Structure 1
């Protein structure tokens, strides 16, 4: 039996035993050489063969699969929040879009999926696909990112890039394309190290990551990916003391902290304050927000909203924020 344990840590390959950073444990069975068993957020998934009709429940999951050339293995995708990167546009266009947001259980099962993948637990809510346990009873294994486990106690204390790399390895293992996954991770590691090396170290610069909403803005606390990126770039998160990924903020508290720079998520889904331009308009017109130092000095950095959550785009966020800080502070 060839065993591929997946755990948090640094990837090391030793003959047939391979340890990689990730959210679960993938085991390849010798009697069914292409089957795997993966533990994802405490749920063991039995995958008898590489999936042929997978469904990605939101854009980040879809882009991880498409980056590994798996468009021909996908029966559907959903919940697009940003324009697809140019290099993935052609592949994305070949995958049926099942819903503007999450497809319901009936719409999902109508595609006869043999694997479901999401980076958000909300995809498996009763009004969406339903629980992963219920899908398993129907013979449909469903993988969930460790960044948003249903059981919040299973979510790591911080969102680290090693977890993203491990998740890519998990998915590559499930689909029998592990070498592709390793190549993707190697490139992301190279870019991440370069972004860290070239970023200006602004130890006293405070960033506020602003995701969505206007009356009650969703901002980044310390435990999500923005907190990790801020530390990697040598800056400070204005809400580093908040031990949540995306707490609801209020403008009086934000004004009291008065961040030096605001990192804006650019979302295309059309909600209140979703696009970067809508955020800028609000910030400049609101009687409280307009007095912020970052607003008065036009210190904004814009990144795609999907790159603020762990995904194949997350290294791009490090690059963009690092370049933005260099532009603002030279």
Structure 2
């Protein structure tokens, strides 16, 4: 079940005073000249951590966002008016399926390619939101440092900072989602809105945990892709939290990695009772399931024998507001399975 974002309340005059308060929980400090209060965009600055590096931001007006997780974070905060356009590679499910489909329709579709510097410059962006190694990339020549040199502000998903060189910052994946919303709220001067959204998401996750099946957590294997080896989720990506909050245990939660490869022998030895299929791209989930069922090595794996699969939408598995939908759906699946 998709949840519509909370209604955006107009910022009252009192909210301008709140802009001067420190948002210490998310590593943000906001300052505004009292004489400039109410003067509009550009009058406020916010110092916010970007993967552990304090960065001073001015209020962006022409953001470019990469993939659904980045766009959804902006839209969940009611910031569509600050988004110029989005880049959406073909692996992403159609934006028409998003809870924020109307917001996607109101901004410009820029490309279905990978994020690159030329695209950002041509769009006259003043702010870019993406993850490290998912959007930003040394190999493709688009990094926060390069954009800094071009006078273009950038924001990286906190969850992806685990792999970022130089300024390491490490939080659990769902905490990374909450942190991003709070930091974006500080950058755009909508701290109250961000606090409401985060409180709602936390409450929904707590409700899931309270209803989790009793007994030992169900061993769960996430299958992203791969033939010679399996591409799966380690402990540093949202599916790990989705699985554990719902009442399961990621069989590869001992791997201190984000997305990583494992041998099929390790999958067999882990004896997962449920397999989560990450659904994206041009290979339907049904084809992935058929591939797993056709592997002789997996024939005796409990989940394969029992035909016990759960399909997780791509945007529920990458860092973004739809993580909350993902944990609710998987929790319902586990509860029904245990009934």
TM range, normalised to the smaller chain?
A: 0.7 to 0.9
1:73 is aligned, of 82, 94, 101, to 82
Distance 1:120 1:82, change over 3 A: farther
RMSD, aligned CA: 2.4
Q: Which residue does the alignment assign to 1:10?
A: none
How far is 1:43 from its partner? 3.4
Could you say what secondary structure the match of 1:176 adopts?
coil
Could you say what secondary structure the match of 2:272 adopts?
coil
1:115 is aligned, of 124, 127, 140, to 127
* Runs of 5+ unmatched residues, structure 2: 1-17, 37-42
CA contact (8 A) 2:53 2:167 kept: no
Q: Which residue does the alignment assign to 1:313?
A: 322
The yes-or-no answer on 1:26 pairing with 2:35 is no
How far is 1:65 from its partner? 0.6
Q: Which residue does the alignment assign to 2:262?
A: 249
The CA distance in 2 between the partners of 1:15 and 1:36, in whole Å, is 9
How far is 1:306 from its partner? 2.5
The CA distance in 2 between the partners of 1:16 and 1:172, in whole Å, is 13
CA contact (8 A) 1:102 1:129 kept: no
Distance 1:104 1:224, change over 3 A: closer
CA contact (8 A) 2:128 2:154 kept: yes
CA contact (8 A) 2:23 2:29 kept: no
The CA distance in 1 between the partners of 2:234 and 2:243, in whole Å, is 11
How far is 1:140 from its partner? 0.7
Deviations 1:252-276 (A, max 9, x none): 2211222111111111x22xxx532
Could you say what secondary structure the match of 2:260 adopts?
coil
TM-score by length of 1: 0.85
CA contact (8 A) 2:30 2:44 kept: no
2:150 is aligned, of 108, 119, 138, to 138
TM-score by length of 2: 0.83
The CA distance in 2 between the partners of 1:93 and 1:261, in whole Å, is 37
Deviations 1:99-134 (A, max 9, x none): 223232111101111111113334222454612112
CA contact (8 A) 1:265 1:302 kept: yes
